[in-house]
Structure 1
Amino acid sequence: MFGYYFKLGVRSLRRNPALTALMVITLAVGVAASMSTLTILHMMSGDPIPQKSQRLFVPVLDSGPKEGWSPGQDPDDIQMTYRDATNLYDAGKVGERRAIIYGVSMAVEPERKDLGAFSEQGLAATHDIFQMFEVPFKYGQPWTAAEDKGAADVVVLSTGLAERLFGNVNPVGKRVRMKGVSWQVVGVADHWKPLPRYYHIISGNGEYGEEEGFYVPFATAIRHETQHSGSMNCNERNAIPGFNGILQSNCTWIQFWIEAASAGDRGDVSSYLDNYVHEQNRMGRFPRNQPAKLYNVMEWLDLNKVVGNDNRLAVWLAFGFLALCLVNTIGLLLAKFSVRAPEVGIRRALGASRREIFTQFLIETAVVGLVGGAIGLTLAYGTLGLLSMGSESMKNLAHMDASMLALTLVLSIAAAILAGLLPTWRACQVTPALQLKSQ
């Protein structure tokens, strides 16, 4: 019976083409507007590393002065000082892995004559970053712990930068000149662009920007006095000038990550950090002596307001527009079904029950929703394509995955059925005797 009613629904689309086209287009526009904004929000707010997000943590230590501070006040900054980052990293007593990260920008001097010098964004990090964040490799491998400790002049290139410098070949073992230093290529990271870029969302390429161009050892970047590319908060004047003064100061400019064995180890990590704060307080640092704060990946994204209220408001407005389209669709369906009152009366007189009439008309509205969803999906793709031309960040966000594709079709059919409930119920109330008498 379902198949028969479905065929009737398809035929009804041709019965009044102008009215049907108006319903389908109204529904399609509403679905396209709502799904375009929902798709972008979905990409922005997704878990970038679901298999590990509950056991990757960012510690925030309050190293600010006590003057002008009141208990319960948030830390002045959520980054970390060089001294604290290296202390926690070298201690090796917390978590399975630890990673120090800061953004850098270097001038690249290609050997190719057809390429001029250009600036590239990258990361200075400890070697654990690759295994911690599951960075895939196309060629080679990360630098070793010994190269990390020895501050070796080695580099891991992104696939994009490697192809730009050397073409489509394996460049491992070759050298590239950056910042006036000759670096040996030890690996090439395959395309790795988690959204959002949770591992380095403060400054750098932004939450949804392009992948890093290169990675160099943290100790090597410090040895070459490579300035950070990003924000820095200094709540006191440095007593020592120059780069060395920054390293010994309480300026916060480094991001530090801890990978625990499981999410259940969060308490142990917090206890270790609190003990570290108390120890430093006894040495004259951390005058506020506040407990350390710990954030997993999703909490870290929320703290940094990666998904703003404006983005959520845009989705609500889009779904409000869809509701308005549904109201118009209800009116059009009422007009469409009212014309068919004589048909309903004859069917009722021949023995069709109200339930059968209700089912038939509801399936017909589902057919409208299916066609509207297909057109709405096409419009949504077009809208996302236009949005992707606006910026690099939007280019990375404005595309549908399989779940959003399925949701678009389901939403369209569900919206059409919802809009058809009232007109269908009205159609079932037709009195057969009155319709037969009027014929």
Structure 2
Amino acid sequence: MFQYYFLLGVRSLRRNPALTALMVLTLAVGVAASIATLTILHVMSGDPIPHKSDRLFVPLIDNGQPDNYKPGDKPDDNQLSYRDATNLLNSKAGERRTIIFGISLAIEPERKDIGVFNARGIAPTADFFNMFDAPFLHGQGWNPGDDKTGADVVVLSRKLAEKIYGDADPVGKRLTMGGFQYQVVGVLDTWKVVPRFHRIIGSNDGAFSEEDEMFIPFASAIRHEFQRNGSTSCYDDVAPGYQAFLDSECTWIQAWIETRGASDRAELQSFLDSYATEQRKLGRLKRAAPNMLYNVREWLDYMKVVGNDNKLSAWLAFGFLVLCLVNTIGLLLAKFSVRAAEVGIRRALGASRREIFAQFLIETTVVGLVGGVLGLLLAFGALALIAMQSKALTLVAHMDWVMLLTTFALAVLSAILAGLLPTWRACQVTPALQLKSQ
């Protein structure tokens, strides 16, 4: 019977074509608006590294001044000073550790047709690539020994490597950056992490910025006294000179620690507290604020990657869908009311209310499927328009298989919900009254 009712539903689309088209369009617009918004929220709030997000931690140590500080206040900055960052790097905490700061360097390629241009990147330590599962196209990252010596080596992004060297493997070639010669040791493959949890601070578009173009050892950037490309917070005046800046309490470095498992969090927290206690004995960390650890999901929440505005937009979109459903209910009531005579005759011939209910509900499901197809097309169009607004939105305005299936499920479910009242009303038709009126 389902197949028979389904075919009836398909044929019913041709009845009152204007009314049917209006129902389908109303449903499609509501589904498209909610799905487009939900898709962006889904991508923004996803787990960017699910297999290890519970064992990658950001440590925060508050080294701010005690003036106007109240217990429970958040740190004034979410980065670390050079002293704290390097102390954590040189410790035995966790299984891997890396510290990062942003850089921007002038690139001087050998090809004269390109000319000098600026590229942005980061200065991490050797563990960075393994900690965040960076995919390599050619070569590999540098080794810990290069961190100790501050070797002038570089890992390029695929985009930058192709711009300078074309399709050739550039590993082993030398490239002038920031006025110094660097040897290319690796090229990363396309690496689109969404959200870019490891580079929320200091990048142009936060968690949804484009890929970094080059990576050099942290120690090399310090040795050449490269300037920072990112945020810096200083509480006091800093004496002139690069070394004086390093010795200051300015915060400008992001740190990450990877543990063997999520259960090692307590041990890492204990180490962090012990470290802070030792630093207070040296006259530092005067706020005596608690030391915080955030895993990947907690870090995304703490940095408000998905803000209240995004959540409010999703609720408003679903509110619009509810409004479309109310209109669809009205249209279905009008569509089914003109078929009261048909229902009365079927009831007189022995059809039960249950059979009538099933027939009309399946017809609304067909409307939902058609509305889902149209809604999907409208959603793709809406996402394309959203992606045109900025590069950051380009990363999040795309639909995956989960959202593709959700679109159809939402359209069918919406149609079924909208059809419950009109279908129930259709089942209440009294056969005798309809037969008398014929």
Query: Above 0.5 in TM-score?
Result: yes
The secondary structure found in structure 1 opposite 2:208 is coil
How far off its partner does 1:209 sit? 1.4
Percent identity between matched residues is 64
Which amino acid is the alignment partner of residue 65 of structure 1? Q
The secondary structure found in structure 2 opposite 1:108 is strand
Cα distance in 1, alignment partners of residues 425 and 183 from structure 2: 77
Cα distance in 2, alignment partners of residues 76 and 384 from structure 1: 36
Cα distance in 2, alignment partners of residues 437 and 26 from structure 1: 36
How far off its partner does 1:362 sit? 0.3
Instruction: Quote the RMSD (CA, aligned, Å).
Output: 0.9
Matches within 5 A, 1:149-168: 149-168=148-167
- Map Cα deviations across residues 18-60 of structure 1 (whole Å, 9 max, x no partner): 1100100010011111111111111111111111111110011
- Map Cα deviations across residues 81-122 of structure 1 (whole Å, 9 max, x no partner): 00111111112x210000100111111111112112111110
Q: Quote the residue 2:198 is aligned against.
A: 199
- Map Cα deviations across residues 349-389 of structure 1 (whole Å, 9 max, x no partner): 11110000000100000000000000000010011111111
Cα distance in 2, alignment partners of residues 391 and 64 from structure 1: 35
How far off its partner does 1:287 sit? 1.5
Matches within 5 A, 1:84-95: 84-91=84-91, 93-95=92-94
Which amino acid is the alignment partner of residue 287 of structure 1? K
Which amino acid is the alignment partner of residue 386 of structure 1? L
Whether the 8 Å CA contact 1:121–1:204 is kept in 2: the answer is no
1:15 and 2:15 are equivalent in the alignment: yes
Cα distance in 2, alignment partners of residues 265 and 300 from structure 1: 17
Cα distance in 1, alignment partners of residues 30 and 75 from structure 2: 44
Cα distance in 2, alignment partners of residues 242 and 436 from structure 1: 98
How far off its partner does 1:70 sit? 2.6
The secondary structure found in structure 2 opposite 1:177 is strand
Q: Quote the residue 2:330 is aligned against.
A: 331
Q: Quote the residue 1:102 is aligned against.
A: 101
How far off its partner does 1:224 sit? 0.5
Count of residues in Structure 1 that have an aligned counterpart in Structure 2: 437
Cα distance in 2, alignment partners of residues 389 and 70 from structure 1: 44
Matches within 5 A, 1:342-361: 342-361=341-360
Whether the 8 Å CA contact 1:155–1:216 is kept in 2: the answer is yes
Matches within 5 A, 1:138-153: 138-153=137-152
Q: Quote the residue 1:125 is aligned against.
A: 124
1:111 and 2:110 are equivalent in the alignment: yes
How far off its partner does 1:290 sit? 2.6
The secondary structure found in structure 1 opposite 2:228 is coil
Which amino acid is the alignment partner of residue 138 of structure 2? Y
The secondary structure found in structure 2 opposite 1:207 is helix
Cα distance in 2, alignment partners of residues 229 and 65 from structure 1: 25
Cα distance in 1, alignment partners of residues 422 and 288 from structure 2: 67
Whether the 8 Å CA contact 1:176–1:182 is kept in 2: the answer is yes
Cα distance in 2, alignment partners of residues 32 and 291 from structure 1: 46
What's the TM-score, normalizing by structure 1? Answer: 0.98
Q: Quote the residue 1:31 is aligned against.
A: 31
Whether the 8 Å CA contact 1:345–1:430 is kept in 2: the answer is yes
Uncovered stretches (5+) of structure 1, i.e. residues with no partner: none
Cα distance in 2, alignment partners of residues 270 and 160 from structure 1: 39
Cα distance in 2, alignment partners of residues 132 and 60 from structure 1: 18
Cα distance in 2, alignment partners of residues 263 and 403 from structure 1: 28
How far off its partner does 1:66 sit? 2.1
- Map Cα deviations across residues 269-304 of structure 1 (whole Å, 9 max, x no partner): 000000000001111111222331111111111111
Cα distance in 1, alignment partners of residues 115 and 351 from structure 2: 80
1:75 and 2:75 are equivalent in the alignment: yes
Which amino acid is the alignment partner of residue 207 of structure 1? A
How far off its partner does 1:312 sit? 0.9
- Map Cα deviations across residues 392-435 of structure 1 (whole Å, 9 max, x no partner): 10111111000000000000000000000000000000000000
Q: Quote the residue 2:61 is aligned against.
A: 61
Q: Quote the residue 2:228 is aligned against.
A: 228
The secondary structure found in structure 2 opposite 1:316 is helix
Uncovered stretches (5+) of structure 2, i.e. residues with no partner: none
- Map Cα deviations across residues 178-232 of structure 1 (whole Å, 9 max, x no partner): 1111110000011112111100101214211110101000000000001111111
Cα distance in 1, alignment partners of residues 410 and 376 from structure 2: 11
Whether the 8 Å CA contact 1:58–1:257 is kept in 2: the answer is yes
Whether the 8 Å CA contact 1:60–1:80 is kept in 2: the answer is yes
Which amino acid is the alignment partner of residue 61 of structure 2? L
Cα distance in 2, alignment partners of residues 48 and 11 from structure 1: 46
Cα distance in 2, alignment partners of residues 80 and 373 from structure 1: 49
The secondary structure found in structure 2 opposite 1:404 is helix
What's the TM-score, normalizing by structure 2? Answer: 0.98
- Map Cα deviations across residues 321-355 of structure 1 (whole Å, 9 max, x no partner): 11111111000000000011001001101111000
How far off its partner does 1:72 sit? 2.5
Cα distance in 2, alignment partners of residues 287 and 315 from structure 1: 43
Cα distance in 1, alignment partners of residues 67 and 170 from structure 2: 54
Which amino acid is the alignment partner of residue 264 of structure 1? S
Q: Quote the residue 2:3 is aligned against.
A: 3
1:428 and 2:427 are equivalent in the alignment: yes
Matches within 5 A, 1:378-397: 378-397=377-396
The secondary structure found in structure 2 opposite 1:14 is coil
Q: Quote the residue 2:287 is aligned against.
A: 288
Cα distance in 1, alignment partners of residues 203 and 227 from structure 2: 13
Q: Quote the residue 2:185 is aligned against.
A: 186
How far off its partner does 1:260 sit? 0.8
How far off its partner does 1:78 sit? 1.4
The secondary structure found in structure 2 opposite 1:15 is coil
